[in-house]
Amino acid sequence: MGGGGFKKGKHELTRMNANNTKAPDLAVTVAGIRMKNPVMLASGTCGYGPEYADLIDLNALGAIAVKGILSIPWEGNPAPRLVETPGGLLNAIGLQNPGMEKFIAEYMPFLRRHKTPVIVNIWGRSMEEYGEVAARFDDVEGIAALELNISCPNIKAGGIEFGTDPNIAGELIRLVRKRTRLPLIPKLSPMLHSIAQFARIAEESGADAISLINSVPSMVIDIESRRPVLSNGVGGLTGPAIRPIAVRLVWQAAKAVKIPVIGMGGIACGRDALEFLIAGARAVAVGTATFLDPGTALRVVEEIEAYVKRQGHASVNEIVGTLQF
Amino acid sequence: MGGGGFKKGKHELTRMNANNTKAPDLAVTVAGIRMKNPVMLASGTCGYGPEYADLIDLNALGAIAVKGILSIPWEGNPAPRLVETPGGLLNAIGLQNPGMEKFIAEYMPFLRRHKTPVIVNIWGRSMEEYGEVAARFDDVEGIAALELNISCPNIKAGGIEFGTDPNIAGELIRLVRKRTRLPLIPKLSPMLHSIAQFARIAEESGADAISLINSVPSMVIDIESRRPVLSNGVGGLTGPAIRPIAVRLVWQAAKAVKIPVIGMGGIACGRDALEFLIAGARAVAVGTATFLDPGTALRVVEEIEAYVKRQGHASVNEIVGTLQF
Amino acid sequence: MRLMEEARVIVHTEFGGGYRRIVFDAPGIAAIAAPGQFVHIRIPQLSQEALRRPFSIYRSKGRELQVMYKPVGRGTHVMEHAVVGDVYSLLGPLGRGFPVDRAGIFPVCVAGGYGVAPLSFLAEKLECPGVVFIGGRKAQDILCTEDFAGLGWDVRVATEDGSVGEKGLVTEAFDRWVAARAPGAMAPEIYACGPERLMHVLTERAARHGWQAWLSLDRPMGCGIGACLACVQRVRDANGKQHWARCCTEGPVFDSKELVWEAADLKKASTN
Amino acid sequence: MRLMEEARVIVHTEFGGGYRRIVFDAPGIAAIAAPGQFVHIRIPQLSQEALRRPFSIYRSKGRELQVMYKPVGRGTHVMEHAVVGDVYSLLGPLGRGFPVDRAGIFPVCVAGGYGVAPLSFLAEKLECPGVVFIGGRKAQDILCTEDFAGLGWDVRVATEDGSVGEKGLVTEAFDRWVAARAPGAMAPEIYACGPERLMHVLTERAARHGWQAWLSLDRPMGCGIGACLACVQRVRDANGKQHWARCCTEGPVFDSKELVWEAADLKKASTN
Ligand SMILES: Cc1cc2nc3c(=O)[nH]c(=O)nc-3n(C[C@H](O)[C@H](O)[C@H](O)COP(=O)(O)OP(=O)(O)OC[C@H]3O[C@@H](n4cnc5c(N)ncnc54)[C@H](O)[C@@H]3O)c2cc1C
Ligand SMILES: Cc1cc2nc3c(=O)[nH]c(=O)nc-3n(C[C@H](O)[C@H](O)[C@H](O)COP(=O)(O)OP(=O)(O)OC[C@H]3O[C@@H](n4cnc5c(N)ncnc54)[C@H](O)[C@@H]3O)c2cc1C
Ligand SMILES: Cc1cc2nc3c(=O)[nH]c(=O)nc-3n(C[C@H](O)[C@H](O)[C@H](O)COP(=O)(O)O)c2cc1C
Ligand SMILES: Cc1cc2nc3c(=O)[nH]c(=O)nc-3n(C[C@H](O)[C@H](O)[C@H](O)COP(=O)(O)O)c2cc1C
Ligand code: FES
Ligand code: FES
């Protein structure tokens, strides 16, 4: 698990490139997690692992971030929860999840059988609850890191409420930091006054990495009923439409901090992922694109590898943050 | 001009529907400007008027907002200034403009010959300069209102710098308010901590209306050169991709204030425009879509009219802000 | 089991009522597809769209998998131009279909719109024929009657304009048929697919009469495989505890006893 | 003058070198199109894209307007599937083309890539034939030679792989030709369209020898009609004052004396 699975992952990659003596090194280290390649699945788009396990080789991924977990089971929003938009997708799932105990009992055994680092996306309805969930996972075997979801636009209490004011976010991160030894990865909202300031506060408050962007708060209206299409009114926009926004934010955040940045937002191919890496992300996550093509993340790995090789680098790390501007 | 042109505009519309006795009333009043219909062309996408005059009937528009004007001629950014993105467009023109004197001398006579309200989009490199430009236009005949561009992401000094901190924006609006009798329409950025708070501060500071959204700061990277595609690095994202973001912000802003809201962002057809009207916009602007189809705004007018009629309303005003949520 | 398969279009024709039919060469999925299941189709030309489109399986035989669709939006309007030889990515078969192994039942199908497709496939797999109600706006909307008739089903048609069959909604025809039955006649086992309103009515009728009903629901779908939690329907378990079920995995076919609808919808259903 | 015209595709064929040719029925635009002007084409199937695509006019005759294009990206890959009868919205003719009314000149055209299209159209309109240099990677990339030959032009070809004509860049062939000319020979008037690097070289050569050169530039375009200020090129006026000119309206063809390039680009051009 986590770091432990790395060696085998590396082995596989070597095999993949068996007929090529100079396969570049794709391994990266993010928040102390050694990932065999910089490509993970984004929280909320790959369930808890088993859902896609028959369609893609989970072991070939850099990491997997499971859907946001609360202390207790959570129902989420009524349907409709999803609507397509130009170049994107609007969702308001509302963080439905089985709660931490059921997640640990039902899904962790499955996840532990894989050699891919598991990042657990967690949230709370209060600061204290964030701490409680974090503390619970501290005891659980096979978890590589916790991603603190302080940026979900789709719930009334919790989530983004803690992720728009940098002081509150700082306080939350410090509180959670005290409750767990696991690496902490706060996940940032795109709707911030200053992403650089926010990233720095996360860093100073004890974050081991940051991930961004979460979905962009948005709305689609049905003009016949004159109601929002989504039951929740507002949802979060994801997919290719938001990619240029995400690249800009990742670039600004990565310049501001020393801790690694995990970039995401609209990645659908290697070229897209490379934009993020060049902008300064140490790793990337594929979300919405998995729905269209479950194999996206693995294709992204291959395409990154081909690029790194073609550009004559020995390691993918050599391209991180190389934007000339 | 402005209000003066209204009667004729109304007349035309009536004629347009000559074979229909119950053409709904499309006229709206925004910031004291009577518009024959709620559809305008967005600043920066229609030049100063003459550019599109041979392709579309400017007199049939609700209003026209000209490209951002400074006190002196301004060069803008080097090329490339534009790149297409999924469902959208990234631009960093950098507010190139001939300066207020040349604009007044060269373009106002043409604009005055039309019976469509002219909204002059203005900016400054300092608060004082905003005031100076506003004061200059106070004397100019044929101007219906000033749109204060405090949200352009593509220039180093001025623009968005005054549009991210609500206190600074409030101070700016109050300052400009003292220098002109013209209606003032601050144009808001989508990247604000709280659009509602910002809208309220604009209202309290003397704005007669607000318009939103301006483009969303974004970046596209050329992975071969490892440079941003745009010379300016960051550009502003517009077009259908951002529509759900814009609808959400317009809805939140309109709920927060009593002054009218002009909505824009990705409008390409009547249905899109109606989303904004239902969300609370009193008028809308068509920007990027004009590039694909210069006739978009006029088609939007027709499609709004058909909807208002089909829904059995006498006036388009009856649908403004009717979102049920 | 489910597969992702690159499927060649081998036939693409008009079907009637505005519907079209595509036959794919999809041996893997065709081999295991069951009635009521669906395929999640990637439309290749929709380069910028974020999602696949779900379609019920109309037939599977040998290597061939058929769907029936109506051009209604961006995706299906592109599909309309598919030509023989085009390759589409199919993910399927997905979801839980209709049970086909229930012995000794008296099957009654109720179809609206594209709902007739999975029910026709079902009829082929059921042991004995029964009664099928097919509804639509006008004569042209009534599809697949020969599919059922050929299998010995009693086909009953309802059109809103009365141009063929009984005039009115399919639920009205169904209700009239129910009312005309001899007391003590064998309880029907209902299978249905169609608009949401039809599901409300049939849930209510099944509950009222104590019948077994299998209803297929239509929800906007993201992943189609249970990961995104977009496609939910409120259901109750045997203990009456409610939760959200995913139509793409726990459904699209549900036992009507499990379904939790808004009170207002059920009330409306009880009176029409 | 310019028009927006719904134009039917009447011919769509391969052209060679990976290029394709479309003939549109566009009587309005065809009647007034001049060499060096372009049309801004809306590709109907690109429902989600934000922009039209600019293409030089290759021919206009009667009602027919032709463009030549290479499938390189999303838009052109869709165009590749255009069939006779498809209707495209054309905005044009746009921009300032090549001057065709300059009497007594000795025209020399230099073409790279699609640049040969507007130059071939130009050759048809010029009074007298001259010399044309056509460059490309390999033999198949060399297009339109018969267009020029048929009009009596001296056609000179350069390919990077030497598979036809001189081996090397088109600029090298041009330079060799210049070097071989008798002292005092008539000054050529240069017309060129092709990659940016070619424009740097020709600007430098024209300046060095004091020749007149008309260069057509390629820029990403938004509106295509002067409104968005996206497509700019740095130019200087007669007094040496610099400003941004719009390639879609002040260009795409510029007098090389007006063009302001980066010093580094010009320096590189002077040495190769
Ligand atoms: C389980 C299931 C089975 C289906 N079987 C069939 C069938 O056999 N034949 C058929 O014609 N249609 C069927 N549908 C409906 C079909 O999926 C939609 O008509 C289709 O997705 C419309 O896509 P579009 O791009 O043309 O429309 P658009 O309106 O442009 O689509 C935009 C988005 O909304 C979604 N959407 C639109 N309409 C529906 C809908 N009715 N249900 C779910 N999502 C929708 C699309 O998938 C897409 O994500 C089925 C739907 C489901 C959920
Ligand atoms: C004045 C002018 C005349 C042209 N004439 C021709 C011609 O006759 N034949 C031909 O094959 N090509 C010509 N081009 C280039 C042609 O416009 C592009 O190849 C085409 O836009 C590519 O579109 P796409 O959607 O396939 O590529 P994509 O890369 O998917 O396009 C994305 C965006 O970038 C723009 N873009 C991409 N490449 C270019 C380019 N080289 N120049 C300008 N914009 C670009 C597109 O217009 C679009 O907005 C011309 C360009 C200009 C400016
Ligand atoms: C259906 C859906 C559910 C999501 N759920 C979560 C979640 O539970 N926690 C979280 O932090 N992010 C969640 N996200 C956000 C994604 O992890 C990711 O940040 C976002 O989708 C941007 O990436 P993309 O454009 O590649 O999808 C969700 C996104 C989608 C589309
Ligand atoms: C090329 C371009 C130039 C623009 N220039 C200006 C400007 O000068 N002033 C301004 O306030 N907004 C400017 N905008 C923003 C538009 O007015 C509008 O707010 C934005 O494009 C969103 O609308 P749309 O999606 O319909 O284009 C510009 C937009 C584009 C695409
Ligand atoms: S569509 Fe994703 S869970 Fe059903
Ligand atoms: S493309 Fe808009 S000004 Fe040239």
pLDDT tens digit sequence for B53-67: 999 999 999 999 999
Element (H, E) at A72: none
Segments forming the whole domain that contains residue B306: 24-319
| Per-residue pLDDT reduced to its tens digit, D109-168 | 999 989 999 999 999 999 999 999 999 999 989 999 999 999 999 999 999 999 999 999
CB distance D223 to ligand 6 below 6 Å: yes
Q: How large is the angle between the packed helices D196-209 and D263-270, nearest 10 degrees?
A: 70
Closest residue in chain C to residue A231, using alpha carbons only: C230
Q: What is the largest CA-CA distance in chain A?
A: 62
Q: C68: Cβ below 6 Å to ligand 1?
A: yes
The pLDDT assigned to C45 comes to 75
Nearest atom, ligand 6, residue D222 CA: 1
- Say how many CB pairs under 8 Å bridge B and D: 97
Residue C249: its H or E element? none
Q: Which residues line ligand 4 (CB under 6 A)?
A: B 42-45, 67-68, 89, 91, 93, 95, 121, 149, 152, 187, 214-215, 238-239, 242, 264-267, 286-289; D 222, 228
Least confident of B268-272, D26-30, D138-142: D138-142
Contacts of D47 in chain C (CB under 8 A): 74
In tens, the pLDDT along D76-111 reads 988 998 999 999 999 999 999 999 988 889 999 999
Residues with CB under 6 A from ligand 5: C 221-224, 226-231, 246, 248
Kindly report the CATH class assigned to C3-94.
mainly beta
Rounded (10°) angle between helices B195-204 and B243-256:
50
> What pLDDT, on a 0 to 100 scale, did the predictor assign at position D16?
84
- Other Cβ atoms less than 10 A from the Cβ of A164: the count is 18
pLDDT at A159 (0 to 100)? 66
Q: Does the residue A324 lie in any domain?
A: no
Query: Which residues in A have their CB inside 8 Å of a CB on C?
Result: 44-47, 51-52, 54-55, 67, 75-76, 78-89, 91, 93, 96, 238-240, 288-295
- CA–CA distance, D20 with D37 (Å, rounded to integer): 19
Q: pLDDT confidence of B260, banded at 50, 70, 90? A: very high
What number of helices (H) and strands (E) belong to chain C? 7, 16
Which residue in B86, B193, B235 is closest to A241 by CB distance? B86
Asked if residue D74 lies in contact with residue D48, where contact means CB atoms within 8 angstroms, the answer is no
Q: Hey, which residues does C111 pair with through a beta bridge?
A: C134, C193
Q: Does domain D106-217+252-270 have CATH number 3.40.50.80?
A: yes
Q: Measured between CB atoms, does C85 come within 8 Å of chain D?
A: no
Residues C120 and C6: their CA atoms lie apart, in Å, by 25
Residue D47, chain C, CB below 8 Å: the answer is: yes
D85: contact with C, CB 8 A cutoff: no
CATH code at A281? 3.20.20.70
Q: Is the CB of D11 within 6 Å of ligand 6?
A: no
Chains that touch B (3 or more CB pairs under 8 A): A, D
Q: Measured on CA atoms in the order B240, B242, B243, B244, is the torsion positive or negative?
A: positive
In percent, how much of chain B has pLDDT > 90? 85
φ, ψ at A102 (rounded to 5°): -65, -40
The whole-number pLDDT of residue B4 equals 33
What's the structural domain count of chain A? 1
DSSP A172-239: HHHHHHHH--S-EEEE--S--S-HHHHHHHHHHTT-S-EEE--PEEE--EETTTTEESSTTS-EEEES
Question: What DSSP state is assigned to residue A98?
Answer: -
Of A106-120, C20-34, C208-222, D45-59, the one with minimum mean pLDDT is D45-59
Q: Which residues pair with D63 in a beta bridge?
A: none
Predicted pLDDT at B8: 34
Stretch(es) of chain C classified as CATH 3.40.50.80: 106-217+252-270
Kindly identify the ligand whose nearest atom is closest to the C-alpha of D231.
6
Residue of D89, D223, D234 with shortest CB distance to B291: D223
For residue D141, the 8-state DSSP code is G
Residue-wise pLDDT for B234-245, tens only, equals 999 999 999 999
Query: pTM of the entire structure?
Result: 0.94
In this predicted structure, the answer to whether residue B136 has a pLDDT above a threshold of 50 is yes
State the pLDDT at residue B5. Answer: 31
Mutate one of D78, D229, D261 to test the B interface: name it (highest B CB count within 10 A): D229
**Cβ of C178: how many Cβ atoms within 10 Å?**
15
Does C49 reach chain D within 8 Å, measured CB to CB? yes
Specify the pLDDT at position B32: 94
> What percentage of chain C exceeds 70 in pLDDT?
99
Rounded distance, CA B91 to CA C124, Å?
A: 58
pLDDT at A156: 65
Asked if D228 lies within 8 A of B240 by C-beta distance, the reply is: no
Listed in order, strand segments (DSSP E) in chain D are: 3-16, 19-25, 38-42, 53-56, 59-61, 64-69, 87-94, 106-112, 131-136, 154-159, 166-167, 188-193, 212-216, 232-236, 242-246, 253-255
Contact B65, B123 (CB under 8 A): no
**Partner-chain contact D48 C45, CB within 8 Å:** no
In a domain, B58, yes or no: yes
Distance from CA of B246 to the nearest CA of A (A): 7
Of C77, C88, C70, C78, the C-alpha closest to C20 is C70
Q: Which of D51, D228, D232 to mutate to test the pocket of ligand 4 (most atoms within 8 A of CB)?
A: D228
Which pLDDT tens digit goes with each residue over D31-53?
A: 999 999 999 999 987 766 779 99
pLDDT at B15 over 60: no
Kindly identify the ligand whose nearest atom is closest to the C-alpha of C80: 1
How far apart are the C-alpha atoms of A138 and C51, rounded to whole Å? 37
In ligand 3, the atom with minimum distance to the C-alpha of A147 is 11
Helices (H), chain A: 6-16, 50-53, 100-106, 108-112, 127-138, 166-179, 195-204, 243-256, 270-279, 289-292, 296-310
How high is the pLDDT of residue D272? 67
CA-to-CA distance for B86 and C204, rounded, in angstroms? 46
Within an 8 Å CB–CB cutoff, is residue C33 touching chain A? Answer: no
C45 shares contact with chain D (CB less than 8 Å): yes
Select from B226, B272, B276 the residue whose CB has the most chain A CBs within 10 Å, as the one to mutate to test that interface: B226
Give dist(CA A7, CA B127) in Å, integer. 60
Q: Do A291 and C51 touch (CB under 8 A)?
A: yes
Element (H, E) at B198: helix B195-204
Helix (H) or strand (E) holding B7: helix B6-16
What's the mean pLDDT when you consider all of chain C?
A: 94
Range of lowest pLDDT (A84-93, B221-230, C47-56, D244-253): C47-56
Which residues of A fall within a CB distance of 8 Å from C228? 44-45, 47, 82, 91, 93, 291
CA B128–ligand 5 middle distance (angstroms):
55
Chains that touch C (3 or more CB pairs under 8 A): A, D
A121 C-beta closer than 6 A to ligand 3: yes
CB of D45 within 8 Å of any CB in chain C?
yes
Task: Return the number of CB contacts < 8 Å for A and B.
Answer: 136
- Going by C-alpha positions, the residue among D57, D53, D51 that lies closest to residue D93 is D57
C211 within ligand 1 shell (Cβ under 6 A): no
Q: Is B14 a member of any domain?
A: no
Q: Is the pLDDT of residue B216 over 70?
A: yes
C-beta C231 within 6 A of ligand 1: no
Torsion C55-C60-C66-C70 (CA) sign: negative
User: What DSSP element (H or E) covers B80?
Assistant: none
Reported as a single tens digit per residue, the pLDDT across C154-202 is 999 999 999 999 999 999 999 999 999 988 889 999 999 999 999 999 9
**Per-residue confidence band for B164, with pLDDT thresholds at 50, 70 and 90:** confident
Catalytic residues of A: 152
Beta bridge partners of B122: B69, B148
Q: Test A324 with B227 for CB contact under 8 angstroms.
A: yes
A59-71 residues labelled b (16+ CB within 10 A) or e (exposed): ebbbbbbbbbbbb
Low-confidence ranges of chain A (pLDDT < 70): 1-21, 155-159
Range list for CATH 2.40.30.10 in chain C: 3-94
Under the banding of pLDDT at 50, 70 and 90, the label for residue B165 is confident
